[in-house]
Amino acid sequence: MFRIENGYFHTIESHLLEALPNQFTFPFYYTPHSLCIAAADEVKSYLNFQTDFEHNFGLDDHKKGLRIGKMFGIMIVETEQGQLGYITAFSGKLAESNHIEGFVPPIYDTLDTDGFYKKNETYVNSLTAKIESLERNPDLEKAKLNLKQTKLETIQNLEDFKRNAKAEKQLRKQRRVEAEGRLSSEEKELFFENLKQESIQNNINLKYLKLDLEAVVLKAEQNLAKLIQPIESLKLERKRLSARLQKKIHEQYKFLNAKGEIKDLITIFKDTDLGKPPAAAGECAAPKLFQYAYAHNMKPIAMAEFYWGIAPTAEVRKHGQFYPSCRSRCEPILGHMMQGLDVEPNPIELAGKFDGELEIIYEDDFLLVLNKPQEFLSVPGKTIKDSVLTRMQRYLPEATGPLLLHRLDMSTSGLLLVAKNERTHKKLQKQFINRTVKKRYVAILDGTLKTKKGTVDLPLRVDLNNRPRQLVCYEHGKKATTKYEVVEVKDNKTRIHFYPISGRTHQLRVHAAHHKGLNMPIVGDDLYGTVSDRLHLHAETLGFEHPVKGDWVSFNCETPF
């Protein structure tokens, strides 16, 4: 069992020992080894009953404080003496601390009161306090309102002047017409000259009015600037200090690998797409585990990570479930830290291969409908070029236009529509945009869904820290709506029909798995659920108006599960 008196290394019960894995876990796509599961069960049991620290995981409604779930990592290791056991870690802070007995320490402790970070953080916080105090100054708000009111009055004064000038111009025009019939030539010449001088004077008055008004506005702007300038100076100082502090922190995160090589965060992320470390890089459980193992001459054998606590608002996370390491923060770091280890091959690079012929359900001179197999790309990826699109380009060498009207996830099977020419594509595309195309998907959910039918409406956007996963985001997400209808409930599984109104990436998968959706992942969903023989999601029917013949056509492809 999990014993904190043993320090950071925890022994494994002898009856659990079995054949060890031949290669270390590929952390971004894996099935947990039985030893990792056993070790994780010990940690979970400890988390359920421990009284060593106070942290609200959101599992007890009576607990007070902010509810925050956490990722925990387990690493099976072998010591220099040949003893097998495991070490464990948590991501970020736990109970507002970086140090919890039994869990390996952070790579760099930002909470160390004697460290440069906390000392500089105190000064940064003092700058923030000064900025907030100056921003609360009543004179600042008065100056802003004064400037706003001055500008409004300036506009009104100019409009009033121009309106009066226009009326006077009309009056001069009328007086000029009236003078034509009643004045002599000499009188008219003098009269018209007076009218001209009135017009000139009016333009001069407008010029000086503008200058006067600009001076009033400038004075109001200068008054406001005097109050804003010290705030901006403090903000600039805070920004520069924060940047220097962040750089120095990144330099403190020094990561070992199995070869004994060391790299800091800045070096690791220098040649990535980001170019610099993202927030909280190095604080995840996996880097902590590697660092501790290498620093104490332990050999990493296998690893797994699980989530503990209430589901976060945006992500799909299930209490107690295993998940891969995050990509944007951990992939570059672990790419360095796993150097020198014999690691399982990336299964994603091995996926996407289909040696058979694509099954064409229907074809005419204008379009075709095919059945995309599971684990096959709709369009080429970064490393895998074989796809439905490349196959269609070879099959239809004379075709014009983009060919594909829509896509399916690599893991999803079912019907795809292909246009053979650009005109057909545009007509069909219009139907997709107008949402008149009818699609029905079949899925099997991992659990018993109590509702018989309904609608899920959760906006989605890409998880920038963990592509290609999607997040539920009400601020930046795109509207995504799915209707559903239960077909059958059997053996704690729910067969369901999905009718997507929109077509967002991973829409059905997230709407099924997210706790604000159906809270029930699709069987075999390796991103939002658990790995199985396949993703049980299939595009079964597709209906649309034929772009040339004009009649409604509908196609069906038998569900393979």
Active site residues: 409
Report how far Cα 225 is from the mean position of its chain's Cα atoms.
38
Query: Both tokens of residue 88?
Result: 């464990």
Distance (Å, rounded) from C-alpha 481 to C-alpha 459?
8
User: Residue type for 552, please?
Assistant: W
Distance (Å, rounded) from C-alpha 234 to C-alpha 237?
5
Pairing of strands 322-323, 359-363: unpaired
DSSP E strand stretches across 389-547: 413-419, 438-445, 453-457, 460-462, 470-472, 481-490, 493-500, 537-545
Report how far Cα 226 is from the mean position of its chain's Cα atoms.
40
Q: Which residues contact 551 (CB under 8 A, 6 or more apart)?
A: 545
Distance (Å, rounded) from C-alpha 293 to C-alpha 287?
10
- Please name the residue ranges forming H helices in 253-365: 265-270, 285-295, 327-337, 347-350
Query: Both tokens of residue 324?
Result: 């891969």
Distance (Å, rounded) from C-alpha 412 to C-alpha 371?
11
> 3-state secondary structure string, 17-61?
CCCCCCCECCCCCCCCCHHHHHHHHHHHHHHHHCCCCCCCCCCCC
Q: Which residues contact 26 (CB under 8 A, 6 or more apart)?
A: 343, 344, 345, 346, 347
Helix axes 185-252, 116-135, angle to 10 degrees: 160
How many other CB atoms sit within 10 Å of the CB of residue 502? 14
**CA nearest neighbour of 392 among 382, 383, 380:** 380
Beta bridge partners of 493: 490
How many other CB atoms sit within 10 Å of the CB of residue 80? 9
Distance (Å, rounded) from C-alpha 219 to C-alpha 540?
70
Distance (Å, rounded) from C-alpha 282 to C-alpha 333?
7
- Tokens 């333009």 belong to residue: 203
Element at 508 (helix H, strand E):
helix 507-513
**CA nearest neighbour of 530 among 312, 349, 320:** 320
How many other CB atoms sit within 10 Å of the CB of residue 103? 24
